[in-house]
Amino acid sequence: MSLSIYPAFFIFATIMVVTPGPANLVLMSSGARFGFYKSIPFVIGVTCGKLFLTVGLGLGFLTLVHSNQFLLNTIKIIGTAYICWLSWKILFLKLDKNNSENQDHVPSLINGLLVHPLNPKAWAMIIAAYTQFTSFGTSNLEINWLVEVTIVASTFFIIQSVSHSLWCWGGGLIFNFLAKTDMSRQVVVITLSLLTVGTVVYSNFII
């Protein structure tokens, strides 16, 4: 990846990462339900899961999945079910964020690690990054492909570390600002959960 191409890739990565999607909305839901600090392990898991997926695709799996429609469709189905399950898990808990019983139900680091590998939007984003902004699939494939993988993976990681934290923090901020009563808390969390489910279904099966 040349220096002249990198600014375009950075803009592409930023737009793709910060815009609403299943991962960002489930992070916001977790922030709204449990608060930012209790959700930090989940944020770390989501961010690292994308890093592992980006590196894994770059180091060998990209060629396998690039034209494998069956595999991509399987990921869509499993990923949609997983995001919906996370939304359900976050939604159907007692409303008091300080209730100790809820602590055991906060999405964990492991839960976060699975979000992007099971998120078709993440796969499409990474595949597009490699095929459009690197030497993958061209006759000019660089000898040092590892450098290109490192550039793509580290850029996504830095942007997502900031973006995912802000989405989760924003969920807690919205909850604290709007949720003054039990009823309003329920409305906020239900709305975020429905947006998450609607987004993942729309992006996976309608677009």
Q: What is the pLDDT of residues 105-149, one digit of tens each?
A: 778 899 899 888 888 778 888 888 887 887 765 555 555 778 888
- Which residues have CB under 8 Å from 159's CB, separation 6+? 13, 14, 17, 18
Handedness of CA 112, 22, 203, 155 (dihedral sign): negative
What residue spans of 92-207 are helical by DSSP H?
109-115, 120-133, 145-178, 182-205
How far is 204 from 121, CA to CA, in rounded Å?
8
Say if residues 121 and 53 touch (Cβ distance below 8 Å).
no
Say if residues 112 and 43 touch (Cβ distance below 8 Å).
yes
- Which residues have CB under 8 Å from 25's CB, separation 6+? 167, 192, 195, 196, 199
Query: Mean pLDDT in the chain?
Result: 77
Q: Is 35 left (phi over 0), alpha (psi -120 to 50) or beta?
A: left
Span 156-190, pLDDT tens digits:
999 999 999 999 998 888 777 766 666 666 676 67
Q: Decide which of 49 and 16 is more confident.
A: 49
At 99 the three-state DSSP class reads: coil
Say if residues 127 and 57 touch (Cβ distance below 8 Å).
yes
Instruction: Tell me the pLDDT band of 201, cut-offs 50, 70 and 90.
Output: low
Q: What is the pLDDT of residue 200?
A: 59
